[in-house]
């Protein structure tokens, strides 16, 4: 059987869903509201938790929108409306924040339709709610995986977590130029994720399959997908897509590449399944959905359980 999630967040969501009862909408990246006109998601960004203290308000604004857009991408939605709740300390540059947020909203076709402003003497805290409409023939859900489906990743993993490590240590200022360049790319990947909206639209036009975005780590999010669909999975470690010079960068910051790839989180690429023979654009196949409810990894020909590791918000 698939092990229970180790994180307190997953246990709390299961507890809530049981008490809401039949028809509970929590659990997916976005909730589809009846009669299926809108998918709605909300995400929180807190200074010192999700991004480093003192980060440029313009970057904070773009990051806030991007992580929410990733949830809509994972649902097969076209973003439409945004509602912001912003609590900031004295001296915060609100105009720089909103100038950046509005520019990013225009880029993605989003209208800032309302919200709330408040003071917070301790730290910056921002919450964004996004609404989107269906992009294709169906909504993408976590419960759509079936035995025999291929498992795919829409992009490389581990780089954002490496970027967070680089930021925490103040950069990589020595070593080969290629490693310093990899460190800069990793920091950008962490601070300014790119939601895969085009891939989400493509997936929403497919007849079958499940999906979610990798926000809390590949291992944890794959376990979530399998639990929602009542299936298992088998992935090949050698097939995981890693960024250029990723292993060299991990050596420079004394990090384990596999740990960051499986549990680092905040990659914001789509993890999804498709029937055998369907080839998605610009994605990497990493495994297969199985009937037996076990999540397994194959490494150098050896099979072992894939641990349910990753970011836990609680």
Q: pLDDT class for 27, splitting at 50, 70, 90?
A: low
> Is residue 5 within 8 Å of residue 223, measured between CB atoms?
yes
Contacts of 219 (CB under 8 A, 6+ apart): 262, 263, 295, 306, 307, 308, 309, 310
Per-residue pLDDT band at 201 (split at 50, 70, 90): very high
Is the distance from CB of 74 to CB of 211 less than 8 angstroms?
yes
Q: Name the helix (H) or strand (E) containing 288.
A: strand 284-290
| Cα–Cα distance measured from residue 234 to residue 7, given in angstroms and rounded to the nearest whole number | 22
Residue with tokens 């909408």: 25
- What percent of the chain stands above pLDDT 70? 94
Q: Is the pLDDT of residue 26 over 90?
A: no
The pTM (predicted TM-score) of the whole model is 0.89
Q: What is the CA radius of gyration of the chain?
A: 19
Strands 295-299 and 232-236: what pairing? Answer: parallel
* Range list for CATH 3.90.650.10 in the chain: 142-305
**217, 310 in Cβ contact below 8 A?**
yes
Mean pLDDT calculated for residue range 286-292: 97
Q: What is the 3-state secondary structure (H, E, C) of 187-235?
A: HHHHHCCCCCHHHHHHHHCCCCCCEEECCCCHHHHHHHHHHHHCCEEEE
129 to each of 45, 111, 179, 188, 217, how far by Cα in Å?
12, 12, 37, 24, 22
- What are the structure tokens assigned to 314, written together? 């609680």
Name the CATH code of domain 142-305 (choices 3.30.70.1350, 3.40.309.10, 3.90.650.10, 3.40.50.10860): 3.90.650.10
pLDDT band at 19 (very low <50, low <70, confident <90, very high): confident
- The pLDDT value recorded for residue 158 is 98
CATH topology of domain 29-134: 60s Ribosomal Protein L30; Chain: A; (3.30.1330)
Distance CA 189, CA 192 (A): 5
Encoded tokens for 8: 């307190």
The segment(s) of the chain belonging to CATH 3.30.1330.10 are 29-134
Condensed to tens digits (0 to 9), the pLDDT of residues 240-269 reads 999 999 999 999 999 999 999 999 999 999
Residue pLDDT, tens place only, 146-161: 999 999 999 999 999 9
How many Cα atoms are found within 13 Å in the side-chain-facing hemisphere of 132?
Answer: 31
Digit-coded pLDDT (tens) for 63-76 = 999 999 999 999 99
Determine the length of the chain. Answer: 314
Question: Do 10 and 44 contact (CB within 8 A), yes or no?
Answer: no
Residue 248 CA to residue 255 CA, distance in Å, equals: 10
Are the C-beta atoms of residues 72 and 138 closer than 8 Å to each other?
no
pLDDT at 4: 45
Let me know the angle formed at the C-alpha of 270 by 26 and 63, rounded to the nearest 5 degrees: 80
Say which residue, 193 or 13, is predicted with more confidence.
193
Is the predicted pLDDT of residue 5 greater than 60, yes or no? no
> ω into residue 35 within 30 of 0, thus cis?
yes
For position 111, what pLDDT does the model report?
92
pLDDT tens column, 222-231: 999 999 999 9
Tokens of 198: 């085009």
pLDDT confidence of residue 33: 74
pLDDT above 80 for 22: no
């Amino acid at each position: 059987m698939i092990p229970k999630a180790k994180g307190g967040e997953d246990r709390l969501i299961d507890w809530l869903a049981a008490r809401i009862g039949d028809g509970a909408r929590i659990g997916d990246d976005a909730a589809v509201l009846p009669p299926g006109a809108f998918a709605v998601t909300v995400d929180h960004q807190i200074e010192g938790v999700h991004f480093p203290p003192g980060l440029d308000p313009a970057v904070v604004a773009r990051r806030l929108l991007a992580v929410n857009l990733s949830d809509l991408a994972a649902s097969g939605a076209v973003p439409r409306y945004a509602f912001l709740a912003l609590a900031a300390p004295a001296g915060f540059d609100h105009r720089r924040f909103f100038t950046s947020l509005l520019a990013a909203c225009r880029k993605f076709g989003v209208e800032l339709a309302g919200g709330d402003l408040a003071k917070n003497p301790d730290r910056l805290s921002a919450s964004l709610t996004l609404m989107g409409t269906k992009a294709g023939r169906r909504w993408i859900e976590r419960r759509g995986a079936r035995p025999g489906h291929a498992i795919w990743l829409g992009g490389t993993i581990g780089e954002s977590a490496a970027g967070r490590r680089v930021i925490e240590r103040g950069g990589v200022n020595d070593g080969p130029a290629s490693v310093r360049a990899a460190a800069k790319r990793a920091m950008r990947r962490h601070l300014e994720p790119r939601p895969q909206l085009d891939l989400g639209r493509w997936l929403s036009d497919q007849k079958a399959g499940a999906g979610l975005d990798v926000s809390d780590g590949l291992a944890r999010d794959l376990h979530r997908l399998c639990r929602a669909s009542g299936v298992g999975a088998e992935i090949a470690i050698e097939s995981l897509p890693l960024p250029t010079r990723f292993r060299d960068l991990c050596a420079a910051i004394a990090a384990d590449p596999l740990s960051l790839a499986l549990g680092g989180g905040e990659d914001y690429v789509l993890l999804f399944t498709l029937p055998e023979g369907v080839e998605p654009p610009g994605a990497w196949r990493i495994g297969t959905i199985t009937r037996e409810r076990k999540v397994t990894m194959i490494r150098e020909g050896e099979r072992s359980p894939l641990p349910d590791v990753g970011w836990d918000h609680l």
